[in-house]
Amino acid sequence: MNQNKIEVKSNNFFVRGYMVTEDAGNSYNMTFAGLKVNEEWKSNANWFTDYARAFQLSSAVLGFNPSNASAYARNFADYNISPLLPLPLSNILNPDGSSQPNSPRFLPGTADYNNALAKVIGNSNPITGGAKFEDQSRIYHSDANYNFKEKIKFAEIQLGGSLRQYEMNSNGSIFTDRDGKITYNEFGVYTQLTKKFLKEDRLKFTGSVRYDKSQNFEGFISPRISFVYSAGANKRHNIRASYQTGFRNPTTQDQYIGLDVGPYALIGSAPDNLERYSEIRGDNFNGSGEISAAGQEILNGATQVTMTGTQAYENSFTKESVIAFDNAISSGQSPAIAATNLQVASIGLVKPERVQAFEIGYRSVINNDLSIDINGYYNLYNDFLNQARVFAPYYGDVDQISTNPNAITAIANKDRREYNVYTNSQTQVTSVGFGIGLGKKVYKNFEVSVNYNFADFEFDQEKDPSFIAGFNTPKHRIKGSLGNDKLFKNFGFNTNVRWNKEYLWESNFGDGMVPENTVFDAQINYAIPVLKSVLKVGGNNIFGKDYIQVIGAGAIGQIWYASWTINP
């Protein structure tokens, strides 16, 4: 990723613009790559055909029990040996019943495997078996602000705005841009007024209003107000309170992703994205397996179907209800009875998330050496951006299962496709948090500080069973520091230790607990007056083990850095 910025500013205005560019480099879809490397050796259709024929032969002719028959059939399929010429069981199974390792299937480390993997990850077209990501996407952004403080005296008034363009360019490997780049724009304008009241200007009022409009959504007005009261002889006791409204637009992924990750596909929710995303299912395409005989009969003999984003959003069942349906079938219920578990997924197209935020705080410096900062907040979210898993049947209408059971037949026969779709939660989400920070000078110029932060959220799971919060924030965090910027002439240092409690991480690509972490950081700095510069050397996670902050991402080790800052 690369960011370039140009800016012009003075005492009362600024104008700036920047561009962010991305390059996926050698990234690729690991799940899809694994599926496709297998298919480079033998197609799934041929493998499953070999397996089924061998299983039937070993069960009916050789009299194997299901466990041995399955192992025998897998070895036939893996060894690429015709079941019409069966090997003795002793040649195929180890004494413990496991399959032998010398299968001709492409194995990691072999030339065949390496060649197949190189071919798959060098191709960005999933239709032809590629797993490579391409991404040359860009963001262009500009904003400007003017402060009228030199022209208007009764209050400080500011006026500003911003303009942004998103450009998605992944050649269809991430977004649905196989036929060309996708672009959309958004802009915003705002004004802010700041006014001081009461004797000695002890009360400060700030009010603002902003209007934002994205190309794909209706405009949004977000007002904000805040008060700060300064008490005490030297205004050292500052009490603040604010009420803010805001919004969060769906991301480019929320709107335009179209990514087959193997077991399921991710489909963005922009109206023009639903038909842009399409895939062929059945007849072993993308490892889906063949459409069942019952399905082919309903489809008038067709072995393939074309699925689009419209079916995922408008003709699907919730994943939770399909799991309940499968469990009912496994317990012996008929599909007609088990179908009472199926629940139609009422998925609305994604729209901006809205929030109301209430915040209070207190800050003070006591006796010139003890600082204290306390804050608390309470947020109310509506239309919380959310994702849901659904199953769309290859045939049948999910709204007409009482009169036409084709959709039930499709779900029962596994003639279905799982999708991850982007929408908004149907329940209100609240979050609450508070923090307290203390800092004190001790023994000459040494300064010690500590702060604690708490964060939590709530929602009604019964109102939205498929809601995935993705809060991804530890409930408890503590940070302590010790430093001295004048330990001796021109030399200073700072150290801190950070701790967080374990927390749940939820995302498209993985859920799991992020373990509790303790991280120690340190930095020394040396001023060089004759050069008007400062030299800094430091490290993060010194003496610590590698740790993670995100499920599915790389572990963080030790980071060492050095910088030289010149202030002419």
pLDDT digits (tens, 9 = 90+) for 182-197: 999 999 999 999 999 9
User: Residue 40: which pLDDT band, with cuts at 50, 70 and 90?
Assistant: confident
Residues in CB range of 126: below 8 A, 6 or more apart: 32, 172, 173, 260, 286
pLDDT on residue 203: 96
pLDDT on residue 506: 86
pLDDT on residue 99: 41
Residues in CB range of 531: below 8 A, 6 or more apart: 566
* Interval 41-95: pLDDT, tens: 888 778 888 888 888 888 888 888 999 888 888 888 887 555 544 444 444 444 3
Backbone torsions φ then ψ of 50, nearest 5 degrees: -60, -45
Tell me how far apart the alpha carbons of residues 385 and 425 are, in angstroms, rounded to a whole number.
6
User: Residue 102: which pLDDT band, with cuts at 50, 70 and 90?
Assistant: very low
Query: Rounded to 5 degrees, what angle do the CA atoms 289, 295, 298 make?
Result: 155
Tell me how far apart the alpha carbons of residues 481 and 496 are, in angstroms, rounded to a whole number.
4
The owner of tokens 């009490």 is: 239
Confidence check: pLDDT of 96 > 90 = no
Give the gyration radius of the chain's Cα atoms: 31
* Interval 208-226: pLDDT, tens: 999 999 999 999 999 999 9
97-118 as b/e: b if 16+ CB within 10 A: eeeeeeeebbeeeeeebeebbe
User: Residue 508: which pLDDT band, with cuts at 50, 70 and 90?
Assistant: low
User: Residue 20: which pLDDT band, with cuts at 50, 70 and 90?
Assistant: very high
pLDDT on residue 81: 57
**Tokens representing 498?**
């950070």
Long-range contacts of 107-116 (CB under 8 A, 24+ apart): 112/41, 113/37, 116/36, 116/37, 116/40, 116/41
Residue whose C-alpha is closest to residue 36's, from 130, 125, 109: 130
Strands 416-424, 385-393: pairing is antiparallel
Tell me how far apart the alpha carbons of residues 456 and 389 are, in angstroms, rounded to a whole number.
25
Tell me how far apart the alpha carbons of residues 271 and 350 are, in angstroms, rounded to a whole number.
9
pLDDT on residue 100: 42
pLDDT on residue 445: 86
Average confidence score pLDDT of the chain? 90
Tell me how far apart the alpha carbons of residues 207 and 194 are, in angstroms, rounded to a whole number.
7
pLDDT on residue 95: 39
CB 276 within 8 A of CB 257: no
3-class SS of residue 316: coil
Residues in CB range of 98: below 8 A, 6 or more apart: 71
Helix segments in 61-141, DSSP class H: 66-79, 89-92, 111-121
pLDDT on residue 97: 42
Tell me how far apart the alpha carbons of residues 127 and 382 are, in angstroms, rounded to a whole number.
39
pLDDT mean over 110-129: 89
Backbone torsions φ then ψ of 557, nearest 5 degrees: -100, -145
pLDDT on residue 288: 56
Tell me how far apart the alpha carbons of residues 429 and 382 are, in angstroms, rounded to a whole number.
7
C-alpha 172, offset from chain centre? 19
Residue whose C-alpha is closest to residue 336's, from 407, 235, 273, 252: 407
CB 244 within 8 A of CB 356: yes
The owner of tokens 């929030």 is: 355
C-alpha 39, offset from chain centre? 29
Tell me how far apart the alpha carbons of residues 554 and 489 are, in angstroms, rounded to a whole number.
41
CB 459 within 8 A of CB 478: no
Q: Can you give the pTM of this predicted structure?
A: 0.77
pLDDT mean over 325-332: 96
* Interval 347-385: pLDDT, tens: 889 999 999 999 999 999 888 789 999 999 999 999 999
User: Residue 232: which pLDDT band, with cuts at 50, 70 and 90?
Assistant: confident
User: In what side-by-side order are the strands of the sheet with 385-393?
Assistant: 258-260, 265-267, 416-424, 385-393, 317-318
The owner of tokens 């199953």 is: 391
pLDDT on residue 79: 73
Confidence check: pLDDT of 331 > 90 = yes
* Interval 536-549: pLDDT, tens: 999 999 988 999 99
CB 514 within 8 A of CB 503: yes
Tell me how far apart the alpha carbons of residues 184 and 165 are, in angstroms, rounded to a whole number.
6
pLDDT on residue 289: 64
| Stretch (H or E) spanning 275 | helix 273-276
* Amino acid present at 231: A
Tell me how far apart the alpha carbons of residues 19 and 8 are, in angstroms, rounded to a whole number.
16
Count of residues for the chain?
Answer: 568
pLDDT on residue 342: 96
Confidence check: pLDDT of 125 > 60 = yes
Confidence check: pLDDT of 526 > 50 = yes
Tell me how far apart the alpha carbons of residues 505 and 286 are, in angstroms, rounded to a whole number.
29
